[in-house]
């Protein structure tokens, strides 16, 4: 049992001022492993695509002694599932500090919903909530049933096959996508 909540935040009470709610947000993180390198980036954007948080680098095997190459920008061209705001595929264009560019194609193979594992409160529980020294619980979810998935679909993780030029690998695409984002056809909440 880990202490504290998972990736999401638990409610902090009704007497606190709510956080500012923007008209839309897109957050994505990619961690893609190839034989000779790992590409990692994370970006948060406003509804207009303006970046307000970014990190990224390419890491190489320790045995090479090669320093990480910073990523300075990432562009995306994504497609989405019809009934959920979850990427169904697409391309990330990665711009590196050495002025080279790489295109990474992603093909989701399966999904993981962190909300089911306690990253958000679900069915009265979230990771780190104390329920006593012998608390044990469980439940079954049909992940093909959208009515069961929607309550926890805010945060999605997709295990993906990835291709970057002639390199083939696998990785994780994590995403939070809500509100307006006209570029992809979403006009509101």
- Total residues belonging to the chain: 189
Kindly state whether residue 131 falls inside one of the protein's structural domains.
Answer: no
Q: What is the pLDDT of residues 134-171, one digit of tens each?
A: 888 888 889 889 998 988 888 999 999 999 999 999 99
Nearest to 166 by CA among 64, 34, 39, 58: 34
pLDDT > 60? residue 186: yes
Per-residue pLDDT band for 5 (boundaries 50, 70, 90) equals very low
**18-22, 37-41, 62-66, 77-81: segment of lowest average pLDDT:** 18-22
Which CATH number covers residue 166?
A: 2.40.370
| Cβ(173)–Cβ(111) below 8 Å | no
Whether 6 maps to a domain, the answer reads no
pLDDT at 116: 87
Let me know if residue 171 belongs to a domain: yes
Cite the DSSP H helix spans in 109-184. 146-149
In this prediction, residue 9 carries a pLDDT of: 47
Assess if residue 167 is contained within a domain: yes
Decide if 41 is inside a domain. yes
Give CA–CA dist 94/30, Å, rounded: 11
The rounded mean pLDDT for the chain is: 87
Number of domains composing the chain: 1
Mean pLDDT of 115-127: 80
Domain annotation covers residue 127? no
- Asked if residue 4 belongs to a domain, the reply is no
pLDDT score recorded for residue 1: 43
Q: How confident is the model at residue 26 (pLDDT cuts 50, 70, 90)?
A: very high
Tokens read off for 104: 């990474």
Answer whether residue 102 is part of any domain: yes
75 lies in which domain range? Answer: 24-113+153-184
């Amino acid at each position: 049992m880990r202490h504290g909540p998972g990736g999401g935040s638990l409610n902090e009470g009704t007497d606190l001022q709510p956080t500012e709610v923007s008209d839309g947000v897109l957050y994505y993180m990619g961690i893609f492993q190839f034989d000779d390198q790992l590409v990692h980036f994370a970006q948060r954007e406003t509804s207009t695509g303006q970046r307000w948080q970014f990190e990224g680098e390419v890491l190489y095997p320790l045995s090479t002694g090669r320093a990480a190459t910073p990523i300075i920008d990432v562009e995306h061209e994504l497609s989405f599932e019809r009934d959920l705001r979850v990427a169904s595929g697409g391309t990330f264009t990665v711009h590196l500090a050495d002025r080279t560019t790489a295109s990474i194609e992603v093909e989701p193979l399966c999904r993981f919903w962190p909300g089911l594992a306690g990253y958000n409160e679900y069915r009265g529980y979230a990771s780190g909530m104390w329920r006593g020294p012998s608390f044990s619980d469980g439940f079954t979810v049909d992940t093909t049933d959208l009515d069961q998935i929607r309550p926890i679909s805010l945060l999605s993780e997709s295990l993906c096959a990835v291709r970057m030029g002639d390199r083939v690998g696998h990785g994780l695409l994590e995403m939070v996508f809500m509100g307006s984002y006209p570029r992809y056809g979403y006009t509101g909440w």
